[in-house]
Structure 1
Amino acid sequence: MVETIVLGFDGSEASVIALDWVAERAARPRTAVEIVMIGGTLLEDDRDIGLLDAERRLLDRAPEAEVSSHRFPGRMPAALIERARNADLLVIGARRGMPLWSALSGWMPLRLTSGSGGPVVVVPDDWEPATGRVVVGVDDDRSSVEAVSFAAREADSAHVPLTLVHTWTMPTPRMEGAVVLLASPIEARAGERRILRDAAVAAQLTNSELVVEQILEQSSPASALLRAAFGASLVVVGTHHRGVIDGALLGSVGRDLLAECRTPVCVVPGADRAVR
């Protein structure tokens, strides 16, 4: 089965770095890449030199890949989302430290990841190749089910370990009559450990020999994921149908990751939002 990747490209430094990330991935067998520019006007007798150069750069690095390039009318992010509707993966570049504006003019990474029906990888402009583990954030509801499944397949394909990261905080004390009931830290941690263990079992359905590491921390999700991302090849997070800004795991976490993480971040929609 051929994996299809759509790369949002505008010739900027960040989009070229994203192209290089795609080229590394396209070195895998049976990969098709479409390089897409949105907007602008192309005359009949005017070859788009930027797109042709991008094709050549990608083919130099992944000569076995199927590569094409096209310019489409429309506005970001809707036009790019529509073009990637049937793709397995949408990839864009972004300037790290300026998470609200990507290399693609007038587009915000959070808007694109919240609107896409499929996985979106945001590659920071200071990315450097790495062959380390795949890291995935595990939530306490179904928002991370698809993310864990995607991350497990990624780790299996790349022949690297998978690291599951789950964070927790002590439950808020509750009142029963005039008595304040405090949760047991031991019981609370045991419950969170079960969530992580169930995710590990689900991940190994992809391949029983997949090496799975489990990290459970009493801290913020963003901090734990950023620590785990050091030396990793990809960080994967899930999102609800409500979108990145309102999701339980994303929102401020997503903004923090895009602003601070030097590792590419993949946002995977839940099953209720996936479009195929």
Structure 2
Amino acid sequence: MDHAVAIITPAWNAQPTIVTTVQSVLAQTHADWQLWLIADDGVDYEAFLADAGIRDPRIRFSSSGGIGRGASVTRNVALDQISTAYAAILDADDRLKPQKLELAVKGLEDHAIVTTALDVMTDDFAHVRFVGQGADRVLTPGTHKWVSLSMDSMLVWDRRRADARFDPTMSNMTDLEFLAQLYRTAPASLHLGTPLHDYIKRASSMSNGKDVAAGMIASKTEILRRLQTGHYALPAQDVDGLTAFLTISLQAEALYGAALAGKPSLLFEDHLEPMLKQKRPTP
């Protein structure tokens, strides 16, 4: 069976981070991969990596077809070109732990979608917190976010059993919206509770910046509307579970500005988590 994984990495002004990101792919214990590095800034990343001593035939270079078209459009460019059954998302400033692909591919033997816990780090790779750590478990669309409460860029999926495209009309929450699309044909996912994906939380990161609340609220509200109008054709209990999560998350957004003013280092995840605990469903 073909176990090749196409890793999709959009690149926008990624020169400060891309070498480390690519090195984490080269270090994978599962060697059957293609890295699709899609430039959205006109940079010749093949030459840039070559100057850093990185050349590997498994790395494919392409362009979004413009400048600043956005991560969703850029990811879709790759999705329209790849031919592998398996695909994964890796942002140009994140890293994969060495066993990420090996364990995900094993999980894909029985599940169409595999997610993993995250190791949230600063941009100098200092550990901040874990998200979604714990036992491996099968999650439904209605329980996934209660375990992995933020950031869904750790996806690996089987495109033969669940396929989707990113929505470029949404400014935020595009990974969650994409996952909801995948759940249309995959009733559950396998969540690996070992942190296998380094998520770099920058001061300007979407869920931690001071000027992005409006975009987060608009995107969460739109996903909520789509859920409630049957857009994803999910079972009622899954709609209820995701709706409950997003409702609490929107309440947290409304309170986050004041909380951040009182504690400037407060992560949105640390702000949200206590609000979820009392209403968490059993996976």
TM-score (norm 2): 0.35
TM-score (norm 1): 0.35
Higher Cα radius of gyration = 1
